[in-house]
Amino acid sequence: MKDIKLILLVIGILILLIPCLGLTEEAKKNEKITRLEEIVVSATRSKISVFDAPQSVTVISSEEIMASPFDRWEDIVRSVVGIYNYRHYAVQTHGIASPLKMRGVGEHRILILVDGVPQNDNFNDAIAWVAWGHIPKEAIERIEIVRGPASAVYGSEGIGGVINIITKKPKAGRQTLVRGGGGSADTYEGYGFYSQKIKNFGFLVAGGYEDSDGFYMVKHHKPYEIKRDREIGKAFGKVTYELTSNSDLSIAGLYYDHETGKGRRYFYDDLTLGQFWTSYNYNGESFSLKGLVYLNQADKTAYQDTAKDNYSSLYRKEEIDSTTWGFDFQGTIPISSWGKFTLGVAYKETTWDYDNKYVTITRNAGAEGKQRSISPFLDSAFYFFNNHLIVNIGARYDWIRTWDGANWDSKSSAGKPPYYNRFGSNTEESFSPKIGIAWHPDDKTTLRASGGKGFREPSLFELYKVHVRGGGTYYREANPDLDPEEIWSYDIGIERFLTDRLWGRLTFYQGFAKDYIGDRLVGTGTFGKGKKKKTRYEYKLDNISDVDIYGIETELEWHAKNNFTLFTNYTFNISEIDKDENNPELEGNYLPYEPRHQIHFGFRYNNPNLVNVFVTGNYYTDIYFDNENTFKEDDYFTMDVSISRRLFEHLSAYINIENLFDEEYPIFRRKGREDTIAPGIIVKGGIRLKF
């Protein structure tokens, strides 16, 4: 199998490099310009061409989204350069690690937006059981990915970059799509989309349901272990109204609910998300305005069992409720033809409640807290030498207050006495500047350089939650005095259309991160008696690590024909622990779950009269699974395929295959535990009705 992997990898790369050797005369004769002026708003908060953007940007179109073999957008972005997603499709939830990483900055350090609404609130970012499949892909217009620190534009969370999911707007006429299918693990699904616009009024709805028996995620499952199943429902709706020819108002709502099993009967969770937002847009000749008001609600219950009775009963329920609301207002003022200024202010407030409910005993344990941020910002763009030189300068000031924090437990735990702690108010301030330059020596080339600061404010979970696992052998104190994590980063690169059909990009990046939050070992103890006596390892969350990061991103895309595109990209990344006050022996080690090398390649072929095919290959090497760098995966290769064909005018059939060659690779490795592995090939098929 390894030989086959290497052969396919080499063949794929060679095929994609063929255009670099030159086009044939026939190809040159038939060559047509296929470049599109893609527009992005996430890089500067106002519309700008991707070619002019000061940072490295990728835009995934709705056509590419629908052609993908995946339903969840977190899987759709897995083949984008600079992004690593180690979570397999079968793993809906697993522990406290967010699966998406960008530019080697580590876990849960990418800002996720939906229509500009932040998703990394103190619920999602804290426990990271994030429902990154909460938007039906039929409702997504495009996905904008901006690499590098984004705090000068969006504040906390964007250390590695930002991913903004832009949902569709109703278009003229009526659009209807229904699809249904099934596949591996007794999986059944059905999705629908409807959109219509009548004069100034438009609306759309999208949603679906999925049920799956799931998979075993270990080689040798024990008698009490079951498949990791899932049941998912989601719905999205939007109403729009054009107030004038250059202004509009929209109201959108999202509902998501899932129940996902983690491999044992009484070890699973329920999650319900409700999100609502209203936006206003005005685009005039002398200025433009944008307004956004949003409300995010999340209710999660994690059901926990215990090893004391061989995992045969429910022990406790962790109930976590979070409410986040906020607004974001901005205005953009053009200055003749040589520049524009965007000024604005953002506000966000989160209330978080954690309640531990025990089934067989009377015990009161939990935590709570509130957090508020007020953030003015400025972004400016200046155009020189007939738009050949674009300079982008921006800054944001974040004032963050945390208050009403508390944690408590009425019973002793892991040999520690009961406690009730009420914490005082705390404020943090962060100033995040950035600068970016894009220069066009000709109309086919962009040379760019950018630099700036990113930061992540500690979550309420990290500030106040006392975390106990392993039957009390792991006991972690909260720390209300945590400082924000910070990174100063820069990148330089070149982007060029080598021909009208061949495009490439090369970027070098480097970052210096400090005050990474981690576990500090503060002591040990014992609890229990006799044979039940156990050792307790006591930790405290603290700012302990500084990390040095650098890497290279390369991309190549060839539009061989108007309906046939080949692509490849390669990321080299080093994320090295420079300082660790808790354990100096870790200094010089690599961050876990950050592959040193990753290669993606594939092709898209779209011919509605014949067949549509989307193939991606993914190759990863040198991945560590722990800070000590004792668990390592040398390499693994997967291939994913989507094939669809129109049967009749409105009816088509599709088949999606993930992990085509049934590759077995680890997802998680922990000392004293069996590896969590990918379940192998997954096949789903169905029909799609569009009219």
CB of 123 closer than 8 Å to CB of 300: yes
pLDDT digits (tens, 9 = 90+) for 143-192: 999 999 999 999 998 899 999 999 999 998 899 999 999 999 999 999 99
| pLDDT above 80: residue 9 | no
- SS3 labels along 372-386: EEEEEEEEEEEEECC
**pTM for this predicted structure:** 0.92
Kindly list the domain boundaries of the chain, sorted by start residue.
2-21+39-690
Place domain 2-21+39-690 in its CATH homologous superfamily: TonB-dependent receptor, beta-barrel domain (2.40.170.20)
* Predicted local confidence at residue 123, as pLDDT: 45
- Of 13 and 380, the structure prediction assigns the larger pLDDT to 380
Range in 20-34, 159-173, 531-545, 548-562 with the lowest mean pLDDT? 20-34
H or E element at residue 25: helix 25-30
Range in 72-81, 99-108, 182-191, 614-623 with the lowest mean pLDDT? 99-108
* Predicted local confidence at residue 90, as pLDDT: 57
| pLDDT above 80: residue 20 | no
CA angle 422, 428, 434 (to 5 degrees): 155
| pLDDT above 70: residue 37 | no
pLDDT band for 121, please (50, 70, 90 cuts).
low
> Alpha-carbon torsion 100, 103, 107, 109, what sign?
negative
pLDDT digits (tens, 9 = 90+) for 311-321: 999 999 999 99
| pLDDT above 60: residue 6 | no
| pLDDT above 60: residue 26 | no
What's the whole-number mean pLDDT along residues 227-253? 95
| pLDDT above 60: residue 582 | yes
Average pLDDT of the residues of the chain: 89
What's the whole-number mean pLDDT along residues 643-663? 93
| pLDDT above 70: residue 357 | yes
pLDDT band for 10, please (50, 70, 90 cuts).
very low
Range in 27-36, 233-242, 490-499, 636-645 with the lowest mean pLDDT? 27-36
Q: Using CA atoms, how far apart are residues 149 and 152, in angstroms rounded to an integer? A: 8
pLDDT band for 488, please (50, 70, 90 cuts).
very high
* Predicted local confidence at residue 413, as pLDDT: 84
Position 421, amino acid: N
* Predicted local confidence at residue 35, as pLDDT: 46
Position 23, amino acid: L
* The pair of three-digit structure tokens given for residue 348, joined into one six-digit string: 């966000």
- Of 58 and 262, the structure prediction assigns the larger pLDDT to 58
* The pair of three-digit structure tokens given for residue 574, joined into one six-digit string: 């080093």
Closest CA to 240 of 181, 283, 297, 196: 196
pLDDT band for 395, please (50, 70, 90 cuts).
very high
pLDDT digits (tens, 9 = 90+) for 283-342: 998 999 999 999 999 998 989 998 888 899 999 999 999 999 999 999 999 988 889 999
pLDDT band for 681, please (50, 70, 90 cuts).
very high
Q: Using CA atoms, how far apart are residues 173 and 659, in angstroms rounded to an integer? A: 39
Q: What percent of the chain has a predicted confidence (pLDDT) above 70?
A: 91
What's the whole-number mean pLDDT along residues 528-557? 91
Q: Is 7 exposed, middle or buried (0-12, 13-18, 19+ CB in 10 A)?
A: exposed
| pLDDT above 50: residue 22 | no
* Predicted local confidence at residue 83, as pLDDT: 93
* The pair of three-digit structure tokens given for residue 103, joined into one six-digit string: 């530019």
H or E element at residue 385: none
pLDDT band for 471, please (50, 70, 90 cuts).
confident
Range in 23-37, 40-54, 207-221, 423-437 with the lowest mean pLDDT? 23-37
Q: Using CA atoms, how far apart are residues 213 and 508, in angstroms rounded to an integer? A: 44
Q: How remote is the C-alpha of 10 from its chain's centroid?
A: 29
Tokens 């004769």 found at: 29
DSSP three-state, residue 278: strand
- Of 83 and 528, the structure prediction assigns the larger pLDDT to 83
* Predicted local confidence at residue 65, as pLDDT: 94
Q: Using CA atoms, how far apart are residues 219 and 236, in angstroms rounded to an integer? A: 38
pLDDT band for 97, please (50, 70, 90 cuts).
low
Kindly list the distances between the CA atom of residue 36 and the CA atoms of 55, 93, 278, 492, in Å, as whole numbers in the listed order: 18, 38, 30, 24
| CB contact set of 222 (below 8 Å; sequence gap of 6+) | none
pLDDT band for 21, please (50, 70, 90 cuts).
very low
* The pair of three-digit structure tokens given for residue 677, joined into one six-digit string: 């592995």
Q: Phi first, then psi: give them for residue 154, nearest 5 degrees.
A: -125, -5
* Predicted local confidence at residue 491, as pLDDT: 97
